[in-house]
Structure formats: structure tokens, C-alpha cells
Amino acid sequence: MDDRLVRIGRLAAVAQGLEREGAYNGAKLVRAALERELVRYAAAESPSGGAASAAALEQLVVDLGDHLPAGLGALLLGAAASVRDGRTIALADAPRARVCRACGEVLLGNDVPATCPTCEAPAIAYRELYPTWYLEPVTREDLLVALAAGAGHVQAAVAGHSDETLAAQPFPGEWSARQALQHLLFAEELFAQRVGRLLDEDDPNLAARAVWAETPASDEGSADTADPASVIAARIAALRAATLARLLALPVEAWSRPGTHPEWGRVTVLTQAGYFARHQASHMAQLVAAANGRLPGH
């Protein structure tokens, strides 16, 4: 077996043992090491491209077979078909998912039993899995700090580099810094639009424009612009400043104004601001590396 998988298994087992003994802070430290191993293993081994990802998921369903929770295999095959066809996986095709922290049972859908059907732990023991970590809870105060710093991070990443350098791909098949900026501009435009609609409309449907033809809308895409990288970075900064100014002026209750999203379900001003702040953060290592002609982590 791969040594990395052995490390992952040992870390998970030791963390669980420490937790059972009440050594919660010890378990916390072990889980930090576990998360590091998981993230790095996944980054190194993850399939690249829609066809490869779909094939890997289909093979996973075959290999795991009865080890998968009831009903999950069919949902995963449906997700693989969507990825293969370039279609967004809507919330209707991927129900809410919770895991019982006490025994690991998976509970799908909105009808949540009051107690776990396997170990009888009460529902407060369930942990809901979000479609992406961008949607995990965040405080308004921390979010405003992150949003204010975000445009500066983009500007710092491209500072001192010519537009020609920023347009060059660091390696074949990898985004240039300019391409990464186009993606961030698309997201920033969508963020500004979402905030406006959530504040100006009652319960808007926040479907984004489709990235591929004949698909449900997705939040992923890139701005279609011929501008050089320096201009794109300046546009990102201007959009962020305008959106941030509007958010800073909001009364606390306005952060809870809701809308509906085809992938995420019920969203608010707070959850959408958290989504886009974290989305930008997730691309910063890629942008910095591309601007310097290398891959992230190299």
C-alpha cells in the first residue's frame, strides 16, 4: 500500500483513539496533520479534466461496491455522467449529505431522522458536508477583513511583472497569470451582481450564466476580455472596492437577506460573500506561481 495512505490511516486512527480518551486537544493536533496529508495526497493524485474525473468516479463506484452507503452509488454515477457531459450537478441531483460523527452513518436528503438509524445518536451528532469549503460558516467581521485584503493580494501577485510575462503559460496546459485573472474577474463580476440582487430583490434565483451550452448555470467561468493582465487586475480591484463599500454600509440584518441557488440551495449575502472571498483565496497560489513562471509549491 502507498505509504501516504498508511500515514493517513494511522493519523485518523490515533486521532479517534485520543478523542475517545477525552484528549481532545491532542486529537486536534493529530487531525491537523491528517488534514495536511489528505490535502497533499489529493492534490498529487487527483484526475485532471472532466473525462478523467468522470472515469475515476465510475471506477470508484465499481471498486467500492457494497462498501458504499445505500443509494449513494447511483447518485455518484449520476454525478459522473454530468461531469462527463459538462453539465453542472444541481442540488436536485445531489441531496444534502450528513455523516453521523458517532458511527459514520451517511444520511442523505432533507428528511433528517431525530436519531441515527445505526447508533441512535441524536441528530446533533450529525455533521453536514458542504458542496465546497467556500460555503462553510464564517463571521461577518472576519469576512470583511478578508474581502478588504483580497484586491491587494491580487495586485501584489502581479506587481513587477510585464503583461507579456503574465500572459505566458508556466507549463503546457497550465493557466497563465492572465488566464487566472480572467477567471477571478468573472467571479468578481458575479459577486457584485449577486450582492446587488440579494439586496435589491426579494428571494432572487441566483442562477449564473451557463458556462457550457445546454447546461444548468454554474459559478465557474472566465471573463471574455482581450485586456492585458494589468488592466484585468485593476478591474478586479475596482469591483472589489465597490462591493466592499456596499457591504460595509449594510445593517447587520441585511447580511441575512436570502436567495436561491441551483447548486447551493438557500444562500444569503453572508454565505455568498464568504463563497467569493474564499474562491479568490483558493486561486492565489496559482496566480503567484504563474506570474513567476512556475507551478504552485515548486
For 158-191, the pLDDT digits (tens) are: 999 999 999 999 988 889 999 999 999 999 999 9
Residue 215 pLDDT greater than 50, yes or no = no
| 46-88 tens-digit pLDDT | 998 899 999 999 999 999 999 999 899 999 999 999 999 988 8
- Which strands make up the sheet holding 126-129, listed edge to edge? 106-108, 97-100, 126-129
DSSP letters of 117-153? TTT--BGGGEEEEPSSGGGS---HHHHHHHHHHHHHH
Lowest mean pLDDT among 4-8, 66-70, 204-208: 204-208
State if pTM tops 0.95: no
Rounded Cα distance between 207 and 115, Å, is 35
| 119-141 tens-digit pLDDT | 999 999 999 999 999 999 999 99
Mean pLDDT of the chain: 92
Q: What pLDDT does 208 receive?
A: 62
Q: Please give the radius of gyration of the chain, using alpha carbons only, rounded to the nearest integer.
A: 21
